[in-house]
């Protein structure tokens, strides 16, 4: 299943272009599912062959999830409120979209899922959510506890043990792991991200920050869909606005290939009008998968390069916690699991190379940790210098 995720600053027209991309995909013969957020109504797409539209309601998704666990909770003697009384937590919208994507993948509902991911902040949070959930799952229930939990669950099901409150949590873990296993939002080979923007100067900084966050999680956009002025304008105002637009488009080209989408006098209505917004075959392409951060041998040990295009030094933090390298940038954070070699090393330095450019990257230096490195290997390392 191929996922096409569209996002942009508020008011950029993401919902309209997501619908246009879905129409284009369905007309190319691919089974297509368009997932929209609350408030987006697309009743004009009902007659498009091969296209299904589903509006994901966070509250409804939360109630369905809650109802699925109340049975085991009652068996464990827990008194939980009914689904209609559950108050959603912040982030429920992203979680609902994530669950709907997983269900589409499990049910082979479509060849292409077009996702109206909403504003940039919501979209980057959605891309980061599977990794964050895995991190919390590993912290709350390490592998050894999950193995014991599986034994406990088997004992409860066989009647050898009575269910308790902890069994409600343990029973939910396999389903969560299965959900996370189906999601590949951080793999550019299966999830394509397109940015939507009106080419104004304030859009550049916001889109660059989003590109930095996406890169932190291993993603990058395949295209920028720019809502541009229609051709044929005249007058001093039009000339100034067109000049500003061209300058911004030149900057946006540094993020991804730019595709111009001319503004219309009216909101496009109907499949035909929507299809006309984008070129045949769609506006983007799946970029070559970025290389995962890998250790490179250097004179004093190893160096790990983490691409962070457009990142600035302000707000960049680097810490080491057990076997993870934790990077904070542009208000986002990711915990990167180190490979077995680097886990036996200590971090000696970290610096941001080429800050504020498309080539910006975080270079992290490592040296062997004498407490975790066999003595004969340390001696061999010393003989190389």
Residue 250 lies in a domain: yes
* Beta-sheet pairing, 295-298 with 301-307: antiparallel
Contact 114, 6 (CB under 8 A): yes
Residue 284 lies in a domain: no
Confidence at residue 11, expressed as pLDDT on a 0 to 100 scale: 84
Confidence at residue 385, expressed as pLDDT on a 0 to 100 scale: 47
Contact 95, 176 (CB under 8 A): no
Residue 89 is given by DSSP the state: P
Indicate the pTM of the whole model.
Answer: 0.85
Confidence at residue 269, expressed as pLDDT on a 0 to 100 scale: 78
Is the same domain home to 331 and 218?
no
**pLDDT tens, residue order, the chain (385 aa):** 899 999 999 888 899 999 999 999 998 899 999 998 876 666 678 788 899 998 888 887 777 777 766 655 555 455 677 777 878 777 778 888 888 888 888 888 999 999 999 999 999 999 999 888 888 888 777 666 666 566 656 665 666 666 555 555 566 666 667 767 777 788 888 899 999 999 999 999 999 999 999 999 999 999 999 999 988 888 999 999 999 999 999 999 999 999 999 888 777 878 888 888 887 766 666 665 566 677 889 888 999 999 999 999 998 999 999 899 999 999 999 999 999 889 999 999 999 999 999 999 999 999 988 887 766 655 555 555 4
Is the same domain home to 270 and 305?
no
Beta bridge partners of 298: 301
Confidence at residue 3, expressed as pLDDT on a 0 to 100 scale: 93
Is the same domain home to 269 and 351?
no
User: CB-based contacts of 261: which residues, under 8 Å, 6+ apart?
Assistant: 13, 17, 225, 226, 227, 228, 277, 278, 283
Helix (H, G, I), strand (E, B) or coil at 20: helix
Sign of the dihedral through C-alpha 169, 172, 177, 180 = negative
Give the CATH number for residue 330: 2.60.40.790
Is the same domain home to 230 and 270?
yes
Confidence at residue 69, expressed as pLDDT on a 0 to 100 scale: 61
Is the same domain home to 234 and 199?
yes
Cα–Cα dist 230/260, whole Å: 10
Is the same domain home to 214 and 119?
yes
Is the same domain home to 259 and 331?
no
Is the same domain home to 203 and 259?
yes
Domain count, the chain: 2
Q: Which of 302, 183, 210, 178 is nearest to 9 (CA)?
A: 210
CA distance readout (Å), 150 to 161, 173, 242, 270: 13, 9, 63, 51
Give the CATH number for residue 139: 3.40.50.300
Confidence at residue 199, expressed as pLDDT on a 0 to 100 scale: 95
Residue 43 is given by DSSP the state: G
Tell which of 247, 275, 303 closes a domain.
Answer: 275
Is the same domain home to 270 and 300?
no
Is the same domain home to 103 and 200?
yes
Tell which of 243, 275, 307 closes a domain.
Answer: 275
Which helix (H) or strand (E) segment holds residue 130: the answer is: helix 120-140
Tell which of 210, 242, 275 closes a domain.
Answer: 275
- Containing structural domain, residue 367: 295-384
Is the same domain home to 146 and 184?
yes
Is the same domain home to 337 and 196?
no
Cα–Cα dist 115/2, whole Å: 11
Residue 9 is given by DSSP the state: S
Residue 125 lies in a domain: yes
353-370 residue pLDDT tens: 999 999 999 999 999 888
């Amino acid at each position: 299943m191929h996922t096409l995720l569209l996002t942009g600053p508020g008011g950029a027209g993401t919902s309209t272009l997501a619908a246009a991309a879905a129409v284009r995909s369905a007309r190319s013969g691919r089974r297509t599912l368009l997932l929209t957020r609350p408030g987006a109504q697309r009743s004009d797409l009902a007659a498009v062959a091969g296209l299904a539209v589903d509006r994901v309601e966070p509250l409804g998704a939360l109630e369905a999830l809650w109802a699925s666990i109340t049975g085991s909770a009652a068996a464990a003697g827990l008194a939980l409120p009914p689904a209609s009384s559950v108050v959603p937590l912040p982030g429920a919208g992203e979680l609902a979209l994530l669950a709907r994507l997983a269900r589409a993948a499990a049910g082979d509902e479509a060849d292409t899922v077009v996702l109206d991911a909403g504003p940039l902040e919501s979209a980057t949070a959605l891309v980061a959510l599977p990794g964050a959930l895995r991190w919390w799952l590993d912290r709350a229930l390490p592998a050894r506890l999950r193995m014991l939990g599986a034994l406990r669950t088997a004992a409860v099901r066989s009647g050898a043990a009575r269910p308790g409150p902890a069994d409600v949590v343990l029973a939910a873990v396999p389903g969560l792991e299965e959900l996370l296993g189906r999601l590949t939002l951080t793999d550019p080979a299966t999830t394509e991200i397109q940015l939507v923007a009106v080419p104004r100067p304030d859009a550049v900084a916001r889109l660059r920050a989003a590109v930095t966050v996406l890169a932190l999680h291993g993603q990058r956009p395949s295209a920028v869909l720019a809502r541009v002025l229609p051709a044929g304008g005249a007058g001093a105002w039009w000339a100034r606005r067109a000049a500003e637009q061209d300058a911004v488009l030149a900057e946006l080209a540094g993020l991804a290939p730019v595709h111009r989408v001319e503004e219309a006098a009216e909101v496009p209505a109907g499949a035909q009008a929507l299809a006309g917004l984008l070129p045949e075959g769609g506006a983007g392409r799946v970029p070559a998968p970025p290389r995962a951060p890998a250790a490179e041998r250097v004179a004093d040990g190893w160096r790990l390069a983490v691409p962070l295009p457009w990142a600035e030094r302000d707000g960049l933090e680097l810490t080491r916690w057990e076997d993870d390298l934790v990077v904070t940038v542009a208000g986002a954070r990711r915990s990167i699991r180190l490979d077995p070699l680097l886990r036996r090393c200590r971090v000696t330095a970290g610096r941001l190379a080429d800050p504020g450019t498309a080539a910006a990257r975080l270079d992290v230096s490592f040296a062997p940790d004498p407490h975790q490195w066999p003595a004969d290997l340390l001696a061999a390392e010393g003989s190389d210098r």
